Amino acid sequence: MENQTSPPATQPLRVAVLGSTGSIGTQTLDVIAAHPDRFSAVALAAARNATLLAEQAARFKPLLVCLGEGRVGGTGIEDALSGPEGLIEIATHPDVDLVVVATTGAAGWEPTLAAISAGKQVALANKEALVMAGSVIAVEARRRGIPLRPVDSEHSAIWQCIQGEGVGDSLLAAPKGVRKLILTASGGPFRNTPREQMEKVTPGQALAHPTWNMGAKITIDSATLMNKGLEVIEAHWLFDMPYEKLEVVVHPQSIVHSMIEFEDGSTKAQLGVPDMRVPIQYALGYPDHLPYADLPQMDWTQAFTLEFEPPDLDRFPCLGLAWEAGRKGGTYPAVLSAADEEAVRAFLDEKIDFYGIPRLVERALGAHEPITEPDLQTIREIDRDTRARVREWTRTQGSALIR
């Protein structure tokens, strides 16, 4: 099934990159550029950065370019597609084999579904697609026999660990004999920071991540551990695992990218330098581990220590909120995701303090009237309503949310 939509082995895989100017997008293009025999970038889409998109278009000469909302005037990409329709056109185009969904936020999940419905392979870096609409997207991917290829380092690690464990080459069924999936978390920049100090954290401090170099939204989510909570929900959908079999452990070195524990206690882990080009390349080149000259390497000749510790849910309430939303299911994860995106924006704009983020998310979850089996239209409405609600709270009570 995996090969049905792939071109003959001699042809490079034709890749569309949605979110090509972001952190994952630019690293995806690095990987593509490193393997011109294996991959070609046939479509590029960005939300706003017209200048970088034009540079990328000049370099990779894609068939299709899409600029979501910026102005193309004077950049040389005047014939670019635009808006959400442009993303859908790229995601379903006949000359595209694999779609990398690296847009952030809710903009990613509709093209993801469109690509699956068009029979494309999908490498998924967007978290919200599975968090908000996992009940639709993961179910549709299974129904069509199209395994989603995770790009996130944790899910990539689990994907690599389940190879040869009785699930064939796909993620279409839960791996057998597994007791737990254990997601590792770096702990972010405030792993050892006392709560009193965390209350006063500035956006600049929260944006300085110790081990990973990522975009602003995900970096703040890593500082609150919301990112790990969203990954738990994604793992639930990607690997068809109940929440009781999912666990989070803080591992500050970010060398062990995640683990699976089998019923006999045997545990497999995937290790490597924390560099997103590794999981990106695996998602594109699966099942091959391709060489990449520019990647840093582990030095196993040197002594070093790997540490593991439980997450502190008191200092990082976002992780607990995500577990709760995931377990409750239905529309709760969509509310979690939408509220978090708005709360993070308010924090970056200095309208609320660091703990204003979990306060807003908790309040949004508490105010929500759940729907058990939402369709896409319902999820869109929940997304819109939650954002409006959180923005309103921030506008009218921003100072109250600071304490």
Q: Would you count residue 275 as binding Mg ion (CB under 5 A)?
A: no
Report which DSSP code applies to 7.
Answer: P
- Among residues 16, 6, 118, which one has the least CA distance to residue 64? 16
**Closest separation between CB of residue 290 and Mg ion, Å?**
21
| 260 vs 352, beta carbon nearer Mg ion | 260
| 228 vs 368, beta carbon nearer Mg ion | 228
Q: Would you count residue 152 as binding Mg ion (CB under 5 A)?
A: yes
Cis geometry, peptide bond prior to residue 287 (ω within 30 degrees of 0): yes
Query: How far is it, in rounded angstroms, from Cα 70 to Cα 1?
Result: 38
| 128 vs 152, beta carbon nearer Mg ion | 152
Only one of the segments 38-46, 154-162, 191-199, 388-396 lies at the binding site for Mg ion (rule: CB under 5 A); that segment is 154-162
β-pairing verdict for 256-262 and 267-271: antiparallel
Q: Would you count residue 234 as binding Mg ion (CB under 5 A)?
A: no
**Closest separation between CB of residue 153 and Mg ion, Å?**
5
**Closest separation between CB of residue 230 and Mg ion, Å?**
9
**Closest separation between CB of residue 203 and Mg ion, Å?**
21
Only one of the segments 153-161, 281-289, 359-367, 388-396 lies at the binding site for Mg ion (rule: CB under 5 A); that segment is 153-161
Burial class (CB in 10 A: 0-12, 13-18, 19+), 338: buried
| 183 vs 339, beta carbon nearer Mg ion | 183
Which tokens go with 403? 């304490």
Query: How far is it, in rounded angstroms, from Cα 202 to Cα 221?
Result: 14
Q: Report helix, strand or coil for 195.
A: helix
**Closest separation between CB of residue 310 and Mg ion, Å?**
18
Q: Would you count residue 221 as binding Mg ion (CB under 5 A)?
A: no
Q: Would you count residue 128 as binding Mg ion (CB under 5 A)?
A: no
Place of tokens 């196993």: 300
CA max distance for the chain: 62
Q: Report helix, strand or coil for 325.
A: helix
Query: How far is it, in rounded angstroms, from Cα 112 to Cα 127?
Result: 11
Q: Which residue is nearest to Mg ion (CB)?
A: 152
Cis geometry, peptide bond prior to residue 296 (ω within 30 degrees of 0): no
| 152 vs 261, beta carbon nearer Mg ion | 152
Query: How far is the CA of 210 from the CAs of 96, 105, 157, 252, 365, in angstroms?
Result: 36, 23, 20, 9, 30
Only one of the segments 19-27, 144-152, 263-271, 274-282 lies at the binding site for Mg ion (rule: CB under 5 A); that segment is 144-152
| 57 vs 162, beta carbon nearer Mg ion | 162
Yes or no: say if 401 and 360 are a contact pair by the CB < 8 Å rule.
yes
| 152 vs 340, beta carbon nearer Mg ion | 152
Size of site (CB under 5 A) for Mg ion: 2
Yes or no: say if 390 and 360 are a contact pair by the CB < 8 Å rule.
yes
Which tokens go with 197? 């100090």
Q: Which of residues 315-334 bind Mg ion (CB under 5 A)?
A: none
| 40 vs 222, beta carbon nearer Mg ion | 222
Only one of the segments 10-18, 54-62, 146-154, 232-240 lies at the binding site for Mg ion (rule: CB under 5 A); that segment is 146-154
**Closest separation between CB of residue 215 and Mg ion, Å?**
12
**Closest separation between CB of residue 152 and Mg ion, Å?**
4
Q: Which of residues 39-98 bind Mg ion (CB under 5 A)?
A: none
| Contact residues for Mg ion, defined by CB under 5 A | 152, 154
